[in-house]
Amino acid sequence: MRKIIHSVTIVTMNDENERINGYVVVERNLFQKVSKGKPTAEELRKADEVINGNGKWLMPGLINTHGHLGSSLLRGAGDDIPLMTWLKQVMWPNESRFDRETVLVAAELAMMEMIKSGTTTFLDMYHLHMDGIADVVMKKGLRATLCRGMIGLCSEEEQESKLKESVQLFKHYHGANEGKISIALSPHAPYTCPPSFLRRIAETAQEEKMMVHTHVSETRNEVEQHIKEYGKRPVIHLGELGLFDQPCLIAHGVHVNEQEISILKDRNVAVSHNPVSNLKLGSGIAPIPQMQAKGITVSLGTDSTASNNNLDMFEEMRMAALIHKGVKEDPATTNSFDTLAMGTHKGAEALQLHDIGKITAGYKADFIMIDPNVSHLTPWDESRILSHLIYATKGSDVTDTFIDGEAVYRNRQLINFDEERIISLANEKLKNFV
Ligand SMILES: [Zn+2]
């Protein structure tokens, strides 16, 4: 299947930061050509499908590197309370009542929201029914790194059974759907997993060659407790336990000091920065500019809709660009190209996916289109697009989303979803929650 999308302004996000008025040729699931100008008559004749972009912007699909799809129905269930109270009073009591259908409706709801706001790849950490979530993701055609979140505050037998479930998921789903599905190992956090369990997870990651994903140092209190209990800071401890021996992505990293930042860099650990969730829970602001100055791969995540409360990566990028300027009292702290990189190819690097996140020949054809003919994106020309994408665009400006060369959202219509049904089911389930 060969597709041509022409009459678009392409934001390539390649190393030269090129923006091109032209067209792309997609052969099966890859960009075969990215070019200026108009396709030739022969190229048009050879194409199975020709799409006129009508002046839209075409850019890489966004990559959300931290979330919990299964808790999407808890959007708005507990505002204005700190992380621990929120987990203990809102999240965990409700999640203990979730059945399989609730989790799968929540996951599908989140996928619709992501696709409609331009996300093509996401990481999901969830402790319930991950096999079911994986099946839905495959059916809907998204690219995802899925992890069965493991809380270790239980017997050793239960710990082992969670680990076994994670490895089984890996054996069954890793690389599935033409490589669109990846599986990682995911201890929930150092404060919910004792060291012996973390060591077991590190050994398993090593044996199976699995990537590791975990929450780290989200709140100040969590770090202070960790030091009290183990006599060392969490990042140092995790390194000693072997968690960084395989590729590792940590979520948050809000309260890390200079020494820990150096360890993250030396051990090649990537970070998922979740600015909106960290602000909403009053957790703090991660030292992202310091991490980037050291050369750490920093990506962006929304966290779940229970602490965000949406999955709009454009909003996340805007927040990431703004808060660090404010903290540093310096507008040069962030810029739009680097911020857009965090939402695209830095996210790909963080997930160990090295052929997505740019519009360039040989890369996977994961891309979105945006209609700039709206007042809040006017006026524009090629020199202003990056600024508009970070400071003015909303997820709802996305009109088309393609993953692996296949449309999952065309002219604002979802292809593989019964949106009305899922929204109605999600509202119906509200009565089951506390
Ligand atoms: Zn999280």
- Cα 68 to middle of ligand 1, angstroms: 6
- What are the C-alpha distances in Å from 309 to residues 73, 173, 222, 313? 11, 29, 23, 12
pLDDT tens sequence across 39-55: 999 999 999 999 999 99
pLDDT for residue 82: 87
CA of 113 to the centre of ligand 1 (A): 18
Instruction: Let me know how long the chain is.
Output: 434
Ligand 1: centre distance to CA 215 (Å): 6
For residue range 129-141, what is the model confidence (pLDDT) as tens digits? 999 999 999 999 9
Tokens for 141? 């055609």
Give residue 83's pLDDT: 85
CA dihedral 4, 345, 332, 281 (to 10 degrees): 120
Task: Express each pLDDT in 186-228 by its tens digit.
Answer: 999 999 999 999 999 999 999 999 999 999 999 999 999 999 9
CATH 2.30.40.10 residue spans of the chain: 2-60+364-414
The per-residue DSSP string of 319-385 comes to HHHHHHHHHHT-GGG--HHHHHHHHTHHHHHHTT-TT-SS--TTSB--EEEE---SGGG-S--TTTH
- Comma-separated ranges of CATH 3.20.20.140 domains in the chain: 62-350
Instruction: Tell me the pLDDT tens digit for each residue of 6-39.
Output: 999 999 999 999 999 999 999 999 999 999 999 9
Sequence-distant (6+) residues with CB within 8 A of 44 are 4, 50
Report the alpha-carbon distance of residue 46 to residue 43 in Å, rounded: 5
Q: How far is the CA of 67 from the centre of ligand 1 (A)?
A: 6
Distance CA 26, CA 34 (A): 9
Query: In the chain, how many H helices and how many E strands?
Result: 18, 17
Using the mean position of ligand 1's atoms as its centre, give its distance from the Cα of residue 380 in Å.
36
10 Å CB burial of residue 9 (0-12, 13-18, 19+) is: buried
- Protein residues with C-beta less than 5 angstroms from the ion ligand 1: 303
Q: How far is the CA of 308 from the centre of ligand 1 (A)?
A: 10
Question: Mean pLDDT over residues 156-162, rounded?
Answer: 97
Q: Which pLDDT belongs to residue 273?
A: 98
Distance CA 429, CA 434 (A): 11
What is the distance in A from the centroid of ligand 1 to the CA of 274?
9
C-alpha 190 – ligand 1 centre gap (Å)? 13
pLDDT the model gives residue 286: 98
Q: For residue range 245-281, list pLDDT tens digits in order.
A: 999 999 999 999 999 999 999 999 999 999 999 999 9
Evaluate if residue 431 carries a pLDDT over 90.
no
365 Cα: distance to centroid of ligand 1 (angstroms): 28
User: In angstroms, what is the span from residue 16 Cα to ligand 1's centroid?
Assistant: 34
Distance from residue 88's CA to the centre of ligand 1 (Å): 14
Q: Distance, CA 326 to ligand 1 centroid (Å)?
A: 24
Task: Compute, in angstroms, the gap from residue 367 CA to the centroid of ligand 1.
Answer: 26
Q: How many CB atoms lie within 10 A of CB 321?
A: 21
**Tens digit of each residue's pLDDT (9 = 90 or more) over 342-351:** 999 999 999 9
Find the 284 Cα to ligand 1 centroid distance in Å.
15
Q: Residue 228: its pLDDT value, please?
A: 97
Contacts of 334 (CB under 8 A, 6+ apart): 289, 320, 321, 322, 324, 325
State the distance from the centre of ligand 1 to the C-alpha of 352, rounded, in angstroms.
Answer: 19
Q: Provide the angle, in degrees to the nearest 10, between the axes of the packed helices 100-116 and 130-140.
A: 40
- List, for residues 70-110, the tens digit of each pLDDT value: 999 999 998 998 888 988 999 989 999 999 999 999 999 99
Percent of the chain whose pLDDT exceeds 90: 96
Confidence at residue 434, expressed as pLDDT on a 0 to 100 scale: 76
Determine the Cα–Cα distance for residues 298 and 270; give it in Å rounded to an integer.
Answer: 6
Q: Find out whether 2 and 26 touch, Cβ atoms under 8 Å.
A: yes
For residue 222, the CA-to-ligand 1 centroid distance in Å is: 14
Q: Which CATH superfamily is domain 62-350 in?
A: Metal-dependent hydrolases (3.20.20.140)
How do residues 363-418 score in pLDDT, each as one tens digit?
A: 999 999 999 999 999 999 999 999 999 999 999 999 999 999 999 999 999 999 99
For residue 432, the model assigns a pLDDT of 86
Kindly give the distance from the C-alpha atom of residue 303 to the centroid of ligand 1, in angstroms, as a whole number.
5
CATH class of 2-60+364-414: mainly beta
The answer to whether 62 and 313 are in contact (CB under 8 A) is yes
How many angstroms is it from 124 CA to the middle of ligand 1?
9
Task: Enumerate residues 6+ apart whose C-beta is below 8 A from 168.
Answer: none
